[in-house]
Amino acid sequence: MSTEKDALAGHPPIDWSKWEPAGEGDLRSPCPMINALANHHILPHSGKGITKAMAVEALTKSINLDSGIANMFASVAVTANPDHSSHAFDLDQVDKHGLIEHDVSLSRNDIAFGDNHSFNKEIWEDVLKSYGEDTETSFETVSRARYERVAACKKAHADAKKEFEYGIKEFILSYGESALFLGILGSPQEGKIPLEYLKVLFQEERVPYKEGWRPIEKPLTQMNMNHLIFSLIKANEHKAAEAQDVGLGTVHAVQAAVTSIMPSYCTIM
């Protein structure tokens, strides 16, 4: 774990105490992290007119995401703007289903049931139950919480006779998002972060600076992400069933797909 000085060398220090939730007219997304960065005024607080350069700058300089990953997310986000001549996006536009937004979110409902955008307290509290009394995450608990949400969504769709969209793309995005919070909130190797950090990020859309979080020392790279995703897959006791569900048959095939898809992630979005 580092000081901000390391992560933000050459850039003015960030005042993480500056935080305000969205006010009237401000736009937000289904992503707890980009919402948090807007709440901290690192992205425009209005949530409007975010260029690729602004997003990359925010993600690399404030939370030390590798510039390649930041570029990939930002490039895809800009395409969410229905005005294709624009080089910017508004935060609410990235809820476009099938682009980055997908079923099985940890804190949002699936599109078949209406609101795929707003924080859903009931869903999030169900996800938190998977952590039991734990105060720290582990690959096992993060993986279990994620898979239990997948199973709950699958059942809800079956009961309502709705089509459930969970293939390799959704699988990678969903594992990728759990990997992102573990990596960015401080544990690219071990998967251990205080559960409180997760609650602050999801429930308040705030970066848990005052709870003790500091930016990771080195940028979170694709290699780190692969390690985190594989560790989460490995920890899933239902990985074989999940491999079948996403249409790849075996865990080995899933791992090969993750390795080959991850570097060209944006081409499947």
How far apart, in whole angstroms, are the C-alpha atoms of residue 238 and residue 201? Answer: 27
Nearer to ligand HEM, 172 or 180 (CB): 180
Size of the chain in residues: 269
Residue of 7, 27, 28, 32 that binds ligand HEM (CB under 6 A): 32
Token couple for 197: 């950090």
CB of 227 to ligand HEM, least distance (A): 16
Residue 128 binding ligand HEM, by CB under 6 A: no
How far apart, in whole angstroms, are the C-alpha atoms of residue 88 and residue 86? Answer: 6
Closest CA to 22 of 44, 54, 45, 43: 45
- Find the binding residues for ligand HEM in span 48-67 (CB under 6 A): 55, 59, 65
**DSSP E strands, the chain:** 50-51, 88-89
How far apart, in whole angstroms, are the C-alpha atoms of residue 261 and residue 258? Answer: 5
CB of 143 to ligand HEM, least distance (A): 14
CB of 105 to ligand HEM, least distance (A): 3
CB of 249 to ligand HEM, least distance (A): 25
Nearer to ligand HEM, 169 or 238 (CB): 169
Asked if 30 and 116 touch (Cβ cutoff 8 Å), the reply is yes
Residue of 14, 38, 88, 94 that binds ligand HEM (CB under 6 A): 94
Distance of CA 45 to the CA centre of its chain: 20
- Tell me, residue by residue from 183 to 222, as one string, x for binding to ligand HEM by CB under 6 A and - for no binding: -x--------------------------------------
Residue 105 binding ligand HEM, by CB under 6 A: yes
Residue of 28, 45, 61, 102 that binds ligand HEM (CB under 6 A): 102
Cβ burial of 24 (10 Å; 0-12, 13-18, 19+) is: exposed
Asked if 42 and 58 touch (Cβ cutoff 8 Å), the reply is yes
Element of type H or E holding 4:
helix 4-7
Residue 182 binding ligand HEM, by CB under 6 A: no
DSSP 75: H
Residue of 77, 193, 229, 232 that binds ligand HEM (CB under 6 A): 77
CB neighbours of residue 132 within 10 Å: 8
Residue of 26, 27, 30, 64 that binds ligand HEM (CB under 6 A): 30
CB of 32 to ligand HEM, least distance (A): 6
CB of 3 to ligand HEM, least distance (A): 20
Instruction: Considering only the stretches 13-21, 102-110, 234-242, 245-253, report the one whose residues sit in contact with ligand HEM under the rule CB under 6 A.
Output: 102-110
